[in-house]
Structure 1
Amino acid sequence: MRELRILRPIAKLEDAAVLDPVVREVHRVVDAVLKPRALEDLLHGVPAGHPMHPALVLVPAGSWIGAAVLDVVPGASRASRTLIGVGVLAAAPAIAAGWADWARSRRQQQRVGVVHAAANESAWVLYTASWLARRAGHDGFGKVLALAGFGLVGFGGYLGGHLGYRQAVGANHADAVVQRFPTGWHELGVLDDLPEEAPVRIEVAGEPLFVLRRGSRVDVLADVSTHLGEPLSDGRIDDPGHRGATITSSLGSVFEVATGEVVHGPATAPAVRFETRINGELIEVRLPRS
């Protein structure tokens, strides 16, 4: 089935360089607000292991959908106003989490994301005005404002789908490694050929791997960040001589080398870790439970 022609301009937002001055200015503000790393990790969803923004959006969206239904039910004005108020309050953490994810995405994603945010936050303003109008007794005007807000929420939701499913913001970009890598043990190389405490990129079975040797210990991760697929070998390694060594990707995600666990976001899924063993002079690797 062909894509609807009316939707094609949405994809063109990715290349709309005219949005870049807005993106840069908003990025500066978001970076200043998200200075505490613990706050940023919480908004990304690092403790939960999944992005928080999609889950947090459910409350305001659900509240406003419920209000739209009640607006056509006689005698339900008070309940509708209550749902709109709940949505207005619940939107705040959803907005914050969305901006946190947006700030750690790529430029094409940020162009679409800034329009997505503009639509949703304009809807938030309309719903706030709707609640105030209803509270003042102007139910008819409040319903008109809510209807306009509902349309913007729908448009913003479509852009959110484009970000999540076409541009893969929030998805685990390393999961395909687990599906592709063959089962069993595979030769990585000779232990003495690996540099000490210096990460290297080695391809095994067609997959690039991030390898760090420390004496006779060799830690191996898939050379792809779970955040947006950036190579870990292009990142910065800290404390390579210690078991708690970490690798910081080019987009800011921090992983523990020994376990692959996320230390800091924006990544929420751990890096793909490989088991290793030394067979004579050779190092061999496999996926856990392979």
Structure 2
Amino acid sequence: MIKRTLMFSNPAYLSHKDKQLVISFPDKDKDNRTVPIEDIGVVVLENQQITISHGCIAALVQNNVALISCDSSHMPTGLILPLDGGNTQAERFRFQIEASLPLKKQLWQQTIQQKIYNQARVLEDLGIATDNMYRWSKSVKSGDPDNYEGRAAAYYWQNIFSQYLDFNRNRAGEPPNNLLNYGYAILRAVVARSLVSSGLLPTLGIFHRNKYNAYCLADDIMEPYRPFVDRIVYDIVAEDGTYHELNTELKTRLLRVPQVDVKFDDMTSPLLVGMSRTTASLARCFEGVSRKINYPTI
């Protein structure tokens, strides 16, 4: 079953009853609504006048729902995830903590290879030359000591929106950076949710290291998935150029990231489902059962 992504952009009271998320509205003319909690994958709390009961939070987290809170500017700023990811969590934590540096470098090599490859697929679909990107993807060595990721990023961002604007990728930069930021925040929550579900610690990365970052591993694993967000943002920019304000309509489109189709060698699945395959394969790598992360292609 495809898990649902729910965004609450208006005042509401959220509670739970009989394994249902119960949505009540201040406007008495609106009837209460219910959604089975088992059908939910991500909940975004955007409005500052949303009230949620502690019992509801507990019920959502127990069902592995990623609960995202937004600040006053409506940008995602917090994430609540379950602490218990499975019966073998302690063992998987140990495997992850004891992973060797050569293994981490090899896993990062695979991650960057697939990221550059997916970026190349996006550019190729837009009619932009990509021979260099495919060559760089194949040239990445263990740990990416030659920084092919940086070379590819410079070329990628210089060209992806070139038909419509002179773009510079910067979190605090001009639109459509705002759309990319929002889409990546949703993607990051999906990755973190799946890592916990696979019994892994999102904090301990294979490349990213920052004592102030609780989601270093999520930031690692999301890299090859970023181009899926980029393509959604490109389509928004290409349509009519009304992307400077991150309105409800645009957020709704970006919230579809978990439902985007991703392609593996043997199947196509929604991104939310595919992410579970990726994180499960990463857990097997830490255990020594496998040496390859299962990433999708565009």
Which TM-score band applies after superposition, normalised by the shorter structure?
under 0.3
Name which one, 1 or 2, has greater alpha-carbon Rg: 1
Q: Please, what TM-score do these two structures have when normalized by structure 2?
A: 0.21
Of Structure 1 and Structure 2, the greater helix share is in: 1
